[in-house]
Chain A
């Protein structure tokens, strides 16, 4: 047993314990806090499995966006409530037996799959010169599997439209967090916000060579926007609704547009000519980063429930 394995076991143990606590903690808010820790631990797992791109995205989303969204929701939906009712359709022993069966089946199936032995990594490597980026994950996202990623940006757009459609009448992000944040918090934000914007730019630029890219950059920007929203100065309130909608769509539209340009240059959709691939990918990534940032921050900023403002200050 090497130290590496001991570390991996401890890490997996921590992730599993955190997951179990998050769902089963007697007090809702405790579960929510542990869930935030779960996200951070998962990003450690991605680091261990050699996926820093995922780790950056998970860290930015888990620490910056999910945390704020679930805490805000828990405040509304009874954060101190101790009762944690469960469905009792089946007797206890039967549900435990079913749980154990499910666990054994999953573990059994997963363990019979051996580590991937396909030659995909080599094939990705072989084609890299024609894609114009050195980061393999970026190459897969934007070039080899352009359709997937394009539609994913579409899913984000749909989620944003859904949240906007469910918005309470008269609700505006500017009205949601009205408090007098201590000067310390404002001061810290004034230092962190430029740092975050710089970090997003760095991740976007870095994405063609190393870990980073449009989603990571967008998530960091969105987290910064969430911080500002919490402090009562939401960036989303500064642009008109029309401009906001344009920013939501720009990633999806720009992705398609660049793909179509590739078609006119004689390729298939998203088959960029090698000479132009690098700048084309950067153009797509920049637009996608903007849309991801606006979408994720909007999911938080516009996510309040009807009548929030009249609920009174008692949590």
Chain B
């Protein structure tokens, strides 16, 4: 297994764990954490695409730049989501979304 393979499997696992968590957990904070873990998996794979095992040219800077903007956007959007969840909690005492019609 190559270095690329090790991290690629890691990215796949992060995406899977995150998707499962986001779909199965009810607590909103956990769901937001799960979304961030999905983001981490996606970022990992993107950076990996620019990784060069060897060679004179260093790692590809383009995916790195994209992921850098991604990290900053992810933190701002997830803190916005957390504020919404906290307002819901303060208004209704809920920590979960209501689920009418789903059961």
Contacts and interface: CB of A to CB of B under 8 A. Distances in A.
Interface of A: 4-5, 8-9, 12, 15-16, 19-20, 22-24, 28, 31-32, 35, 38, 42, 45-46, 49-51, 53-54, 57-58, 61, 65-66, 69-70, 73-74, 76-78, 84-87, 89, 95, 99, 102-103, 106-107, 110-111, 113-116, 118, 120-122, 124-125, 136-137, 139-141, 144-145, 148-149, 152, 155-156, 159-160, 162-163, 166, 168, 215, 219, 292, 295-296, 299-300, 303-308
Residue from B57, B58, B76 with most neighbouring chain A CB atoms (10 Å): B76
Interface of B: 1, 3-21, 23-30, 33-34, 36-37, 40, 43-45, 47-53, 57-69, 71-73, 75-80, 82-87, 89-91, 95-96, 99, 102-103
Given A110-B48, A121-B61, 7 more contacts: A16-B10, A70-B82, A77-B29, A77-B86, A77-B89, A84-B27, A166-B83
Contact of A77 (B23, B27, B40, B49): B27
Given A76-B86, A89-B102, A152-B73, A54 B61 contact: no
10 contacts: A12-B6, A76-B89, A77-B89, A86-B26, A99-B16, A110-B12, A113-B8, A115-B52, A121-B52, A152-B69
A19 B40 contact: yes
A95 B22 CA distance: 13
A309 to B, nearest CB: 11
B72 A16 contact: no
B73 A156 contact: yes
A29 to B, nearest CB: 10
Given A77-B28, A99-B20, A22 B33 contact: yes
Nearest to B86: A305
List the 8 closest A-B pairs by CB distance, nearest first: A23-B21, A136-B61, A12-B10, A106-B12, A305-B90, A140-B65, A305-B86, A159-B76
Contacts of A306: 87, 90-91
A113 B63 CA distance: 15
Contacts of A296: 75-76
A5 B29 contact: no
B103 to A, nearest CB: 8
Nearest to B21: A23
Contacts of B37: 19, 22-23, 38
B79 A155 contact: no
Given A12-B7, A84-B27, A159-B80, A24 B90 contact: no
A69 B79 CA distance: 7
B71 A54 contact: yes
